[in-house]
A and B are shown apart, each in its own frame.
Chain A
Amino acid sequence: MTAKRIGDVVLDVKNISLAFGGVKALTDISFDVREHEIRAIIGPNGAGKSSMLNCINGVYQPQQGLITLRGKTYHGMSPRQVAEMGVARTFQNLALFKGMSVLDNIMTGRNLRMQRGLFWQALNLGPARREESEQRAAVERIIDFLEIQAHRKTPVGRLPYGLQKRVDLGRALAMEPSLLLLDEPMAGMNVEEKQDMCRFILDVNDEFGTTIVLIEHDMGVVMDISDRVVVLDYGKKIGDGAPDEVRGNADVIKAYLGAGH
């Protein structure tokens, strides 16, 4: 493989602090994400990883600090507005419609790309129909990409967990995001499923040039696929850099293995 085309900073997180009442979830966190990069956020349970993602995603409004996406700074933006800027995400505990087919679930990800309103769609006439088939073509490309053709019409609830995670990724990809946030994409998977998921993440990054920010528990996986890693512990940043640098960082070792080792 050739060298990756890592570019300029696309997401800049500066001095973020987030508190829920007296509980400080995040304290003065700063890091940046570059174009085409795979950036990991790691840390023990309760370190504030998901809270960080929720801030980038617009779900939480941090009390202090600035988030700048492609030169545009957030001020009280809703998740939908963030999504319109090309940010998609997957969820740790999945957010799929269990009774709906794989195809329909991924189709929901196309929502932002649909131009025609409820009225046209309900009538299912000319323009709405054409649009529907264009959207379907886009969804089929994702199904092909994720190799889930055999499950196209299966209700999501009947699929094994590893495949549901893949569908969740598919739904996020359907938005054609430029920045993809993955919240523990490999949690609860067996080794083989993890390997598959790693390959898909690398392929997404490679084929579509999508910038990826991922949260992960499994240190091995993170070190293998990320370009740079941020380490959080108790809401504070304790490390930032290439996987090898982070691995050697004394604070990180302490946070993960406890003192005295």
Chain B
Amino acid sequence: MDTFPRLLLDHAAKRPHAPALREKAFGLWQTLAWGELARLVQDLALGLSAAGLRRGEHLVVVGENRPRLYASMLAAQALGAVPVPLYQDAVAAEFVFPLNNAEIAFAVVEDQEQVDKLLELREQCPQLKRIWFDDPRGLRNYDEPGLASLDDLIEQGRAAQVQRPDFFAAEVAAGQAGDVAALFFTSGTTGNPKGVIHTHATLIDRARAGQRFDRLTEREEVLAYLPPAWVGQNIFSFAQWLAVGYVVNCPESASTVSIDLKEIGPTYYFAPPRVFEGLLTTVMIRMEDAAAPKRWLFDRGMKLARRVGMRLMDRQPVGLLDRLAYALGDLFIYGPLRNTLGFSRVRVAYTAGEAIGPDLFSFYRAIGINLKQLYGSTETAVFVCLQPDHEARADTVGVPIDGVEIRLSPSGELLVRSPGLLKGYYKNEAATREALTEDGWFHTGDAGFLTPGGHLKIIDRAKDVGRLVGGAFNGAMFAPKYVENKLKFFPHIKEAVCFGDGREKVCAFINIDFEAVGNWAERRNLPYAGYTDLAQRAEVYELMLECVEKVNADLAQDELLAGSQISRFLVLHKELDADDGELTRTRKVRRGVVQDKYGVLIDALYAGKVSQYIETQVKFEDGRTSMVAADLRIVEARTFPAVKGQAA
């Protein structure tokens, strides 16, 4: 069973009536069994073949998680063609490069929205000749050449089956494990996206390695609600789904995910930190509205959970009294809370993609959810490092799993070798050579190190890591993102930018979180006239200073990163904004832009000034501009001597 179509046929033969996919439609969960799915894939494959899709060609798939879109990916693979999932929320212009780069002539899309986008690109992508849609709503009156519904395609496939009864089986049999199985386009921060080539072998190998690590079985339930074009979702609801044979559930719509989550009660769950953060926020808001006795009970319960629950999760010794108290808490608080979140059946939950705040991470573990972190990327077919069940930490990403070798380059960049590595970037020799060495090591671009316990710790993007020169920590490593993340974990801090590479000390810009700090100010009867005024209040500086010093104390614990402690900082008078080009659309800081724009502030920080006047132009969403001026205060923060020999 070394290709996805063969895995499908195997499940269909062995357990034809077991559920493969569920989709909530018209208020009911509708099940597609493996046997039915195999027939659907066969019809689609024959239809696609009749339409002209050939071995080695590409089929673009755009839409939310829908059973028939997954079936279309399998149908393309059955023919030896390559599915190319694209992000459904991308604007039309973002499709141009992948469509032309991969010479795409065929597309299967979810609905009118996606059809409109592709039709808009007809002139720029003339090779795109056939588009099929899953949901006909709004498309009734479209009269476009090459546009048809998936129902039509299935119908044609069924008709073709009569003339070519053995075609499908023969095509599946002709597939090889080394054939290309999918092309994932990754959005680089610079330049055009790159198409990552994965074969059946690379994806299935990693899917199985993950399966063994967490002992996954065909009884797992997964809710698929993140974009299928994201490799994470694709691995969890496609590669591992076929490798393990569990059930993938598709929510009714994007807005019903939390309801569907509760109804399905997944056992295996995967989401980036922002999803966990969103869930926690809803819980907290509802708790704040609850009656006083309930709030008191919840606070008591959570205090106990943070003290005891974490130790229980990590299998550390816990006293009998605490155990009893926790059991009681589980009955009345944690259990119902897990149920409300839709996590009562979760056996394994993962978060990945970005750093997760320690408070957020420990909240879930404390109430008894086995939340863990993993490290991987599109190029590595996700599974590189995973945290074992009782060794999850907020600041590491786990141990290398089966088949993975890792090492650090002399510059501190993490290199990975595994059977799941990409075969290359599509039509991009230069990028492939840059990322993959001759002897099969992949350059991750991340800087990190192994802790004494053998866990990988990622600190920053390798290109951003610098060194201090001169001063108390001469030569020490400076990892800006690591420090900034620590600052951002405080609810009052929205954004932070740290400087220090090639300088004698670290200085920082801080953006307050207007909502959180505004709220905080109101509760203290602190009047303010707006963002700029609030940001410059002495009380707010006090609050920020507290956060910065906590971060410093924390950094001092780690010999390697003690040098990254913040000596001086200021609170910016305006929010860093994507409209002003200071952030990317995905809210990542553009260091270059910030450095140029606020050069005078950086100079003031390092020149030892106590304040600096600045005028900045801001751009509104409608393109109008205006000026913001302020006299920014600069303050010193305490730093601490490094604690020796206690590297995390």
Contacts and interface: CB of A to CB of B under 8 A. Distances in A.
B163 interface: no
Nearest to A136: B27
Nearest to A153: B259
Looking at chain A's contact residues, is the secondary structure mostly helix, strand, loop, or mixed?
helix
Looking at chain B's contact residues, is the secondary structure mostly helix, strand, loop, or mixed?
loop
B286 to A, nearest CB: 14
A152 B137 CA distance: 20
Contact of A207 (B27, B137, B252, B255): B137
B143 A152 contact: no
Contacts of A80: none
A150 B141 contact: no
Nearest to A137: B26
A185 B318 CA distance: 62
Contact of A150 (B138, B142, B256): B256
A207 B140 contact: yes
B253 interface: yes
Interface in A96-152: 136-137, 140-141, 143-145, 147, 149-150, 152
A245 interface: no
B143 A140 contact: no
Contacts of A143: 26-27
A1 B26 contact: no
B429 to A, nearest CB: 45
Contacts of B142: 1
A106 to B, nearest CB: 12
Interface string B227-257: 0000000000000000000000000110110
A206 B27 contact: no
Contacts of A141: 26
Contacts of A144: 25-26
A115 B142 CA distance: 38
B416 to A, nearest CB: 40
B138 A149 contact: no
A203 interface: yes
A203 B138 CA distance: 7
A206 B140 contact: yes
Interface in B256-278: 256, 259
Nearest to A144: B26
Nearest to A151: B255
Nearest to A147: B253
16 contacts: A1-B141, A140-B27, A140-B28, A143-B27, A144-B26, A147-B253, A147-B255, A149-B27, A149-B256, A150-B255, A150-B256, A150-B259, A206-B138, A206-B141, A207-B137, A207-B140
Interface of A: 1-2, 136-137, 140-141, 143-145, 147, 149-150, 152, 203, 206-207
Given A136-B27, A149-B252, A207-B137, 18 more contacts: A1-B142, A2-B143, A137-B26, A140-B27, A140-B28, A141-B26, A143-B26, A144-B26, A149-B27, A149-B255, A149-B256, A150-B253, A150-B255, A150-B256, A150-B259, A203-B137, A203-B138, A206-B141
